Structure 1
């Protein structure tokens, strides 16, 4: 239980920190920036994620007690994001399809959260491939089969929100995986 709670608490703390640090801040009512006109915004550059030498999130399904059976598919919407990502990384066949669809749905619902969580995985490898690329492939394959409009709009918003940094690197991988998935579908 401690192995699940500690990474989850860390992820929540980082997400809370990042949610308060990004974007442009509007000046409080009645205050103006001396260099700009009324109603101007102050640009606040978001902090990029640190790259610690220790793993932030586990990519191993066994660390979350994941068992691949018919009942597990029913409970995917209840999984915390880190557990869902580990499930995706260990799944194949029908188990993978349901998990990939759930991860894609979450990307559409909260793209910044999903990009940040994938970025937190760092350079972890699964079966000789970066876990980041496998998760991006999972989202991209579901997007390629589900329709490009919602995916394209979400990616565009993310490009504006994350022009640089580790989340931008994940976004680049996601776009590459999406292009490959579209080519495979043709």
Structure 2
């Protein structure tokens, strides 16, 4: 399993060490980007309540619950451990798949609602709701792309963190895995001097 893990981490550069112009360590970078990701999820909760009114359906409450739970499990990668690392990576892939799945459902429902609205003879309602749907659809698309961006950035730094941990780091250092590894290789080995019958054994 360690060989598979090394191959998986070899696709990722070992020079990554900080974010925000060298001010934030890898560990805290993961927390920050994951927080941004969850903030967008909170906005989705608000848009879900709006869709209940405009799109005339029960919304995506179940999908939001599932996505929130899988997002929390994905953060388990902050805990050291090989098994936990693989489980968290799997949760990240499920999270991305679910996001794309929900995006398809949202687009389909919006198109269906727009067609249904266009067939309505209530022209003031068509104009008002059509404008609201169009405006929120643009916001929704922007948030989807932003959430995908934060998802992959978080995943990238999780792999960086695991690479740093593989050479004995913690992720709190403002150093890359290569720098930590080089420092350890240059550190002189401690020697022991044992006195035995007047002779020194080093």
Q: Does the TM-score normalized on the shorter chain lie above 0.5?
A: no
Q: Which has the larger radius of gyration?
A: 2
Structure with more helix by fraction: 2
User: TM-score, with normalisation over the residues of structure 1?
Assistant: 0.29
Bigger relative contact order, structure 1 or 2 (CA pairs below 8 A, ≥6 apart): 2
Tell me the TM-score normalized by structure 2.
Answer: 0.27
